[in-house]
Structure 1
Amino acid sequence: MPNTINITKPTVIIVFGGNGDLTKRKIIPALYNLFLENRLPEKFAIIGTSRTEFKDQKYRDLLLDGINEFSRTGKAKKEDWAKFSEKITYQASNIKDVGSYNEFADKISDYKKEWKEDISTLYYCAVSPDLFCTIAENVSKSKLENNRETTRMIIEKPFGRDLESAKTLNAKLLTIFDEKQIYRIDHYLGKEVVQNVMAFRFANTIMEPLWNRTHIEHVQISVTEKIGVEDRGSYFDNAGILRDMIQNHLLQLLCIIAMEPPINFDADLVRDRKVEVLKAIRKIVPGSVDSMAVRGQYGSGWVEGKEVPAYRDELDVKPDSNTETYAAMKFYVDNWRWQGIPFYLRTGKRLFKSDSHIIIQFKEVPHNMFQNQERNIPKANRLIISIQPDMAIKFQLESKTPGLEMTLNTVDMVFDYSGKTKGDSPEAYETLLLDVISGDQTLFMRADQVEAAWEVVMPILDYWENNKNADFPNYPANSWGPENADALIAKDGFHWINLPDKK
């Protein structure tokens, strides 16, 4: 992000889905923490809206409960909450009724008269994806602000259900808003460690000469979850893990690892480089899906002494569901830097532990000059980027163990975020919302980027939807996934790297 940002312009934030879980858990706690750190404009207002009828004070009380439970800074102090909450109002509305939007316009007009300044207007769509276009159309039809320089629309994933629906959604939104007004949020890109990967790569001379096919053997990107689908059965059974995680989160992580250095940190130049990666990913042709991708669905099992149901027995899941809760796949990026180097991606639910990390596995030394004993064979160097629950970047190197013999041992060079208190490190939504307010799109996906990501996964998605897996469920809860996922990487001579718990 730029070193200097303008957050002085008065700002009104309208949150559609203002009574939803995302608003209470993420959006309002993020805005509150930005307020505590004096990162918000001096003049701002938050308008929450949903169908439910609330008085302003009742709505504020519900949001306070969310902050007390989910904010990284802990329970709100009475005086801080009083100053912040006075900026919050609530308006019951029907998103499909353009008349409600005119009421928002009247509120904004009142703020403009009170502040005697031009304002920025943010429309946050914390709602079902099928309502994105409805909101955009009604903004256009009503008296609401749509200044190309100061009006922004924030959209949560999923952005489309497939390539065609993403193209349709993009086309519709771009008839109403300019691309520079649309902020498609992927919260993974706002995580502190993920942001630091680009600094680690491009601000250090030592890394760039090593960051290529000459020195790197393969790359692993893993996002594993211990939980099941919980109360999201209805959504998840119509989406699956490929849509829910790989098309957005994991492919974005791949882009950050594989991208070429941009000329500078301009938002479009950074996103250009990411699009280049997606377009360079080797297309998976019909007939080769089974050799490049694996799917799984969890069965029942025991987690922390408690019996948990199989996916097909979860609430709102079809009893014969063919939806995958696990996916692993191999991609190649066909360019000069990465030709022939495999990128392995995996993600799933009800796995052994919740963990997100990227492994850069370097090649072995070309010649072993030490004694031909197992303890003296140097291990290949490895760069481990831990995203969550631990936040660290670790470089594994070989070193001599103290003593009379030449015995090698792996040592870690670690940049560890755990030395910082929880309150010091901003949540992803804080970073992303501050960027929206300041007009910085670097960490947000552009239309062509979204469509390019869908193009990558569509052959797999189409094949899985048209070919039912007769082996589901094929991995028990509290495991590392289906056996054929191990076979996918083992046939290339590698194995999935599962990080130990932090001591």
Structure 2
Amino acid sequence: MSKEKIALFTIFGGTGDLAQRKLYPSLFKLYQKGYLQEHFAVIGTARRPWTNEHYHGVITDSLASLNADPAMVAKFADHFYYQSHDVTDAQHYITLKKLSEKLDAQYGLEGNRIFYLAMAPNFFGTIAQHLRSENILTPNGFNRVIIEKPFGHDFESAKELNDQLTATFNEDQIYRIDHYLGKEMIQNISAIRFGNNIWESLWNNRYISNIQVTLSEKLGVEERAVYYDNSGALRDMVQNHILQILSLLTMDQPVEFTEKDIDVEKVKALRSLRPLKPEEVATNFVRGQYGADGDVQAYRNEDKINPDSNTDSFVAGKIMIDNFRWSGVPFYVRTGKRLADKFTRIDVVFKRPIVNIFNHDDVRANDDADAHLAPNVLTINVEPTEGVELQMNAKNVGQGFATTPVKLNFAHDSAATANSPEAYERLLHDALNGDATNFTHWKEVAYSWKFVDVIQKYWDEHTPDFPNYRPGSMGPTASDELLAKDGHEWVYKS
């Protein structure tokens, strides 16, 4: 049975950075692996008056780092067509329809169409409306739309955007991309939990003390300054990536490993998030903004950033989930710019043994928490290292029975990770297969925004004391205090 996928891709924003850095290389890798062969075509659209020849040159340049066979690259690029397009002009959609129908016949695409909206969200509704009104959707084959974040700025704007999209597409035709859901070790969460009874039997409030999720970035805002200053870490990272990871960590086992059943369990988990009252925000969430340090300038001095900006470049929070499995277990999350290093990790901290029968001399001399056995910690390293690490207690070498924490490690070898699909490649392949398991569904988006909106509203009404952390650190000291007042600490420390 052939693994070839048949479709016409139309990329709105085909000249942009996302298309050149992520989409074209990912499509090429699918081409190299035989998922795309002869029966596919790509239309790139944007305002720029490019020719097909110039567009092919851009495609070729975007693949330079792959060191691919030039003949294969040229053959791949021949499947790409460019149309200068104003998304607000109905006449341009008539031209787009004619080109789409021509390519459908030329490449035998069977009416299968994927529309990728790699543009600002304020154009999503306009594009969807014209795709319907100008009859660009096909009655045969499939019609799917892939959209990038941000999906709204709050719940109300997200709902408005969703209403615009669902006027043209059904929910099962909408693929809201969250590239974290395409990462190898994020997809491994379900395998680790539900494929190993040793973990799933302990995956509850009887045995887990707390769970920590850290998405750390070493760089500043860079070229995303304009977008970021209108968003901040809470909207940019917590509302989507972190709450999606949390839903995978906390959902109950689905009846089957299918898109529908997984979505049901993720929605139940997000519905169980304990909503914060406005007066609880300050005691459960910490925001930060980096200052200057040496050659690194402060956030407010970055290019294109408002010098009076109160936008958060760091967020840490304590999230509670009110259901039978997780009642009483705090979930600590943090993310930020200009931190100690770039990495993503999940630390599952298990409860300590109630009685420590070892280290008697230490216990008598130091009657405090440090005399207790170290907790077991399961760490899921998402990036840059991909793997799993378990901290457990073992006897120290030598006389006596003093214990010490030791670590068992598993990491994917470099050859495996080098040949594994990049997140966008995985997700594009899923979209071709009609599998939205690793995409975000509307109810998930809705519950995430409802949780985050309370925090953002409180912050908008209270002036912060910024800047409040040094570049190269792991954020404000209040982030450490957030855990300390519960008797916990971050597993990762800079």
Residues 396 and 283 (structure 1), Cα distance of their counterparts in 2 relative to 1, 3 Å cut: same
1: CA distance, partners of 2:140 / 2:479: 47
Please give the per-residue CA displacement for 1:281-336, whole angstroms capped at 9, x wherever unaligned.
Answer: 1110121110010101111113xxxx011111111111111111111111101001
Describe the SS at the equivalent of 1:420: helix
* TM-score calculated relative to the size of structure 2: 0.95
2: CA distance, partners of 1:384 / 1:34: 31
In terms of mean alpha carbon deviation, does 136-145 or 376-385 score higher?
A: 376-385
| Aligned-partner residue type, residue 327 of structure 2 | Q
Q: How much has 1:83 moved relative to structure 2? A: 2.0
| Aligned-partner residue type, residue 437 of structure 2 | T
1: CA distance, partners of 2:477 / 2:493: 19
Question: In the alignment, what sits opposite 1:183?
Answer: 175
| Aligned-partner residue type, residue 372 of structure 1 | H
Decide which of 9, 15, 25 is 1:29's aligned counterpart.
25
Are positions 1:240 and 2:228 aligned together?
no
Are positions 1:13 and 2:5 aligned together?
no
Describe the SS at the equivalent of 1:352: coil
1: CA distance, partners of 2:348 / 2:205: 11
Describe the SS at the equivalent of 1:398: strand
2: CA distance, partners of 1:210 / 1:41: 46
Sequence identity, in percent?
39
Question: In the alignment, what sits opposite 2:448?
Answer: 453
Are positions 1:423 and 2:418 aligned together?
yes
* Aligned 8 A contact 1:48 1:89 in 2: yes
Q: How much has 1:9 moved relative to structure 2? A: 5.0
Unaligned runs of at least 5 residues, structure 1: none
Are positions 1:382 and 2:377 aligned together?
yes
1: CA distance, partners of 2:139 / 2:263: 24
Question: In the alignment, what sits opposite 1:484?
Answer: 478
* Aligned 8 A contact 1:48 1:91 in 2: yes
Q: How many residues align?
A: 487
* Aligned 8 A contact 1:233 1:316 in 2: yes
1: CA distance, partners of 2:138 / 2:450: 31
Residues 373 and 250 (structure 1), Cα distance of their counterparts in 2 relative to 1, 3 Å cut: farther
Question: In the alignment, what sits opposite 1:39?
Answer: 35
Residues 373 and 230 (structure 1), Cα distance of their counterparts in 2 relative to 1, 3 Å cut: farther
| Aligned-partner residue type, residue 486 of structure 1 | D
* Aligned 8 A contact 2:5 2:35 in 1: no
Map 1:148-187 to 2 at 5 A.
150-187=142-179
Question: In the alignment, what sits opposite 1:440?
Answer: 435
Q: How much has 1:32 moved relative to structure 2? A: 0.7
Describe the SS at the equivalent of 1:364: coil
* TM-score calculated relative to the size of structure 1: 0.93
Map 1:323-472 to 2 at 5 A.
323-374=311-362, 377-469=372-464, 471-472=465-466
* Aligned 8 A contact 1:64 1:76 in 2: no
Question: In the alignment, what sits opposite 1:138?
Answer: 130
Describe the SS at the equivalent of 2:413: helix
| Aligned-partner residue type, residue 59 of structure 1 | Y
Question: In the alignment, what sits opposite 2:197?
Answer: 205
2: CA distance, partners of 1:300 / 1:143: 54
1: CA distance, partners of 2:420 / 2:471: 32
1: CA distance, partners of 2:409 / 2:32: 31
Unaligned runs of at least 5 residues, structure 2: 363-369
Describe the SS at the equivalent of 1:301: coil
2: CA distance, partners of 1:263 / 1:41: 36
Describe the SS at the equivalent of 1:110: helix
Question: In the alignment, what sits opposite 1:53?
Answer: 49
